[in-house]
């Protein structure tokens, strides 16, 4: 079977590099164009040394991209929306990692991003790229907006309990810890090694933009959402604190999670009674497309602490993009995403 051709816009970045690695090993996609305005003409393996020997493709500018079957956009927030009319002529399917098209409602976008959406009529054409919630729509979609990395971790941690009406959904607190590659490859004072190494820093304790997506997808009106940056390079861990509405025991919660994720090949329930890996942890998920979820019941406060972990560049961005592309192109959902991770790492 002939492979479908693809282009990555923003291929010199962290998400773009991860996508290149996944596409080069994919059974049904071939990587035809990889863009960088700064490194056009240079081998992509110069910037992503893990790709040495796998390709002799060179970066090109976006203006040099020809027609392909699928475009993966990994540009900074705000870069795709103003030029969507030009980009959509290049491919029948576009998968975007940025925040440009994640909201259904332009007013909601303006509320969380502080300015009107540059192409509000576009928003209704895009599907939120979380297969665990929108698999059927993604299969028919031509434009897919992959969720924010912390939003994926937050939503998947607790949604089974919210949908089962098992928790008070007006009082959920999401506490997230995020590794440094989540901020992309452009250095800033905050990401400079002497400022970041070994540091746990409260980064955004209220008002994070991903809150808006989480409210939209959980269909709730408010939630606490705090982010702490960690010294790790990859990974997100989310603790979602919620108060139980019903007297549930572990067995009933197992049933709720198991049923909700019965058809989700990348969500694993991790809740062991003993050993050192009792609950999800991000390190062993590096390079994978898994989201591990678990929980602990706190009988003292009648609350549940739901836990999820992902690789921000995997299930949080590039892996999720491939998962969505597989579904939208009629391929097996897991194609090209079989890597199980490393242990120890």
Interface residue list for ligand NAP (CB under 6 A): 10-16, 36-39, 62, 74-77, 79, 97-98, 148-149, 181-182, 184-186, 312-313, 316-317
In angstroms, rounded to a whole number, what is the distance separating the alpha carbons of residues 299 and 317?
A: 36
Smallest gap from residue 275 Cβ to ligand NAP (A): 29
* Helix/strand/coil percentages in the chain, nearest 5: 35, 20, 45
Name the nearest CA neighbour of 183 among 317, 65, 275.
Answer: 317
- Residue 156, classed as helix, strand or coil, is helix
259 contacts: CB under 8 Å, gap ≥ 6:
160
Smallest gap from residue 60 Cβ to ligand NAP (A): 11
- Annotated catalytic residue 329: no
Smallest gap from residue 297 Cβ to ligand NAP (A): 31
In angstroms, rounded to a whole number, what is the distance separating the alpha carbons of residues 316 and 63?
A: 28
In angstroms, rounded to a whole number, what is the distance separating the alpha carbons of residues 7 and 65?
A: 7
* Residue-wise DSSP of 76-102: PTTSSGGGHHHHTTS-SEEEE-SSTT-
Q: ∠270-207-19 over CA atoms, to 5°?
A: 55
**Which residue of the set 60, 74, 149, 238 is catalytic?**
149
Check: CB of residue 293 under 8 Å from CB of residue 269: yes
Smallest gap from residue 174 Cβ to ligand NAP (A): 16
Closer by beta carbon to ligand NAP, 151 or else 304: 151
Dihedral, CA atoms, 267, 150, 112, 167, nearest 10 degrees?
60
Closer by beta carbon to ligand NAP, 153 or else 166: 153
In angstroms, rounded to a whole number, what is the distance separating the alpha carbons of residues 155 and 180?
A: 21
Closer by beta carbon to ligand NAP, 185 or else 252: 185
Smallest gap from residue 22 Cβ to ligand NAP (A): 13
Closer by beta carbon to ligand NAP, 84 or else 242: 84
The first and second tokens of residue 305, run together, are: 């602490």
The first and second tokens of residue 188, run together, are: 């800033």
Closer by beta carbon to ligand NAP, 290 or else 295: 290
- The residue of the chain with the least Cβ separation from ligand NAP equals 13
Smallest gap from residue 250 Cβ to ligand NAP (A): 32
Backbone angles phi, psi at 148, to 5 degrees: -60, 150
Closer by beta carbon to ligand NAP, 36 or else 326: 36
Residues classed as catalytic: 149
């Amino acid at each position: 079977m002939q492979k479908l051709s693809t282009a990555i816009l923003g291929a010199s970045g962290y998400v773009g590099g991860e996508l290149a690695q996944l596409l080069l090993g994919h059974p049904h996609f071939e990587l035809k164009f990889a863009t960088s305005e700064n490194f056009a003409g240079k081998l992509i393996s110069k910037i992503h040394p893990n790709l040495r020997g796998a390709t002799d493709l060179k970066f090109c500018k976006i203006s040099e991209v020809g027609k392909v079957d699928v475009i993966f956009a990994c540009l900074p927030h705000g870069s795709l929306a103003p030029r969507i009319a030009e980009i959509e002529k290049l491919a029948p399917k576009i998968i975007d990692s940025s925040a440009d098209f994640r909201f259904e409602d332009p007013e909601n976008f303006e509320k969380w991003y502080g300015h009107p959406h540059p192409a509000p009529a576009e928003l209704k054409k895009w599907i939120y790229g979380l297969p665990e919630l929108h698999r059927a729509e993604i299969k028919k979609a031509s434009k897919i907006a992959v969720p924010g990395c912390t939003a994926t971790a937050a939503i998947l941690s607790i949604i089974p309990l919210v949908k089962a009406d098992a928790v008070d959904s007006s009082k959920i607190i999401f506490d997230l810890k995020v590794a440094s590659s989540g901020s992309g490859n452009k250095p800033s004072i905050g990401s400079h090694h002497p400022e970041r190494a070994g540091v746990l820093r409260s980064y955004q304790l209220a008002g994070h933009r991903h809150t808006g997506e989480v409210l939209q997808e959980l269909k709730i009106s408010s939630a606490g959402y705090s982010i702490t940056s960690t010294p790790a390079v990859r990974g997100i861990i989310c603790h979602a604190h919620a108060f139980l509405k019903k007297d549930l025991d572990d067995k009933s919660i197992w049933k709720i999670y198991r049923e909700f994720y019965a058809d989700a090949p990348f969500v694993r329930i991790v809740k062991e009674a003993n050993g050192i890996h009792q609950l999800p942890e991000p390190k062993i998920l590096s390079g994978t497309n898994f989201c591990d979820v678990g929980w602990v019941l706190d009988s003292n406060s009648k609350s549940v602490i739901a836990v999820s972990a992902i690789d921000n560049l995997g299930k949080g961005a590039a892996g999720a993009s491939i998962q969505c592309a597989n579904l939208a192109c009629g391929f097996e959902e897991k194609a090209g995403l079989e890597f199980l991770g490393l242990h120890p790492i």
